[in-house]
Amino acid sequence: MSQELFKEMAQSILDGDDEVSAELAQKALDGGIDPLAAITDGFMPGVNEVGDNFACGDAFLPELVMAGEAMKAAIAVLEPAMMASGVSRQVLGKVVLATVEGDIHEIGKTLVGTMLTSSGFKVYDMGVDVPTADLIAKAEEVGADIIGLSALLTTTMIKQKEVIDEVAKRGLKVMVMVGGAPVTKEWVQRIEADGYSEDAIGAVSVAKELMGL
């Protein structure tokens, strides 16, 4: 019974159908299936498959994003149940994510958030044009492992450095990964960021690496 359900769960992710994935999550709860198993053995294989297909060019951004949305919908159903029973989902890490101050470019950052979430990270997406002070405050509040910073403009890229300097000044134990069109390896070295990725799929691997996974 649960094997069959797990297959349907993976398929709902492949189909990018957030209504079906939420229904299936509810069905699992009603049937007494361990919510954690539903995530790990049901929905996760779907996310992995879409990710692999995307990486080799057989799937496209809309499919990737819809898969992420379907995963989010499933987690939204399953997470309260886990909390209630005292079992918390084992998250791979907590990530505070934002596009830096002065920059309103959103698509790449949101994509990274979706991918991180569906891969098992807990993501706090603060949106765009986020001042450094707010970012630091949020990271401290939630006990973030990673701060993810996006910038699309060469003029706002400098804010990535500002955040890193602030983290160092305060001696916070949080790693910073950066991304965005103008970001180069040289820039990453110069500002001493902990990680950087070219795209959303790569960001997941970088975040996992930072977490020592």
Residue from 16, 42, 93, 120 touching other proteins (CB under 8 A): that is 16
In the stretch 96-125, what mask flags binding to other proteins with x, by CB under 8 A? ----------xx--xx--------------
Q: How far is the CB of 16 from other proteins (least distance, A)?
A: 6
Binding track over 188-207 against other proteins, x by CB under 8 A? ----------xx--------
List residues bridging with 125 in a β-sheet: 97
Q: Is 98 helix (H, G, I), strand (E, B) or coil?
A: strand
Which residues, 6+ apart, have CB-to-CB distance to 44 below 8 Å?
A: 120
Residue (of 197, 191, 183) closest to 167 by Cα position? 191
> With respect to other proteins, which residue has the nearer C-beta, 63 or 166?
63
Q: Please enumerate in sequence order all residues whose Cβ is within 8 A of that of 194, keeping only pairs 6 or more positions apart, or say none.
A: 146, 175, 176, 177, 210
Reading the block at residue 129, the tokens are 């044009």
Question: Which of 83, 133, 181, 213 lies at the binding interface for other proteins (CB under 8 A)?
Answer: 181
Question: CB under 8 A: which stretch of 32-40, 64-72, 86-94, 159-167 binds other proteins?
Answer: 64-72
Taking the complex as a whole, how short is the minimal distance between the CB of residue 152 and other proteins, in angstroms? 12
Return the closest-CA partner of residue 103 out of 123, 127, 138, 136: 127
Looking at the DSSP assignment, which residues form a beta bridge with residue 195? Answer: 177
Q: Which residues bind other proteins (CB under 8 A)?
A: 16, 57, 60-63, 65-66, 69, 106-107, 110-111, 181, 184-185, 198-199
